[in-house]
Amino acid sequence: MENRFDREMKKGVLEMLVLNLICARPTYGYELLSRLRDGSGGSFDLKEGTLYPILYRLEDDGLITASWFPGAGKTTPKKIYQATQAGHRENLRRQEVWGAFTDTVTKLLTGGNTL
């Protein structure tokens, strides 16, 4: 069972990762889940429902848009998410924020150890 700290931390990071994956190429929920799981070596193994609030928030903020894509063969259509211009810009900005943030945190953590 994950504890509260791990969960809260993951939540913020997840939104950044999902936006980044969608910016890389238009995709759908199931594919996002498997890319997160495989890319993280299994430590980001999410349920579909966890993804929805993140996707809706990104969509409501105008960073991504959803459209229907006809399914292959006789399957039903799928909902594909793709990043908007603003989404691509925001993705870059978030990664800068993340880079600066982790640098500071790492510095503080290691600094604290040597003191």
What are 67's strand-pairing partners? 80
- Contact flag: residue 75 with another protein (CB under 8 A): yes
* Pick from 56, 52, 10: nearest CA to 33: 52
- Contact flag: residue 25 with another protein (CB under 8 A): no
Residue 38 backbone phi and psi in degrees, to 5: -70, -40
> Which residue, chain included where needed, has tokens 């600066």?
100
**Which residues within the stretch 80-99 sit at the binding site for another protein (CB under 8 A)?**
none
Stretch that binds another protein, among 2-10, 18-26, 51-59, 91-99 (CB under 8 A): 51-59
> Which residue, chain included where needed, has tokens 């903020």?
61
User: Which residues, at least 6 apart from 23, have a Cβ–Cβ distance to it below 8 Å?
Assistant: 83, 87, 88, 91
- Contact flag: residue 31 with another protein (CB under 8 A): yes
**Minimum CB–partner distance for residue 110 and another protein (Å):** 34
Residue 107: both structure tokens together? 């510095």
Stretch that binds another protein, among 16-24, 72-80, 83-91, 96-104 (CB under 8 A): 72-80
Interacting residues toward another protein by CB under 8 A: 28-31, 47-50, 52-53, 55-57, 60, 71-73, 75-79
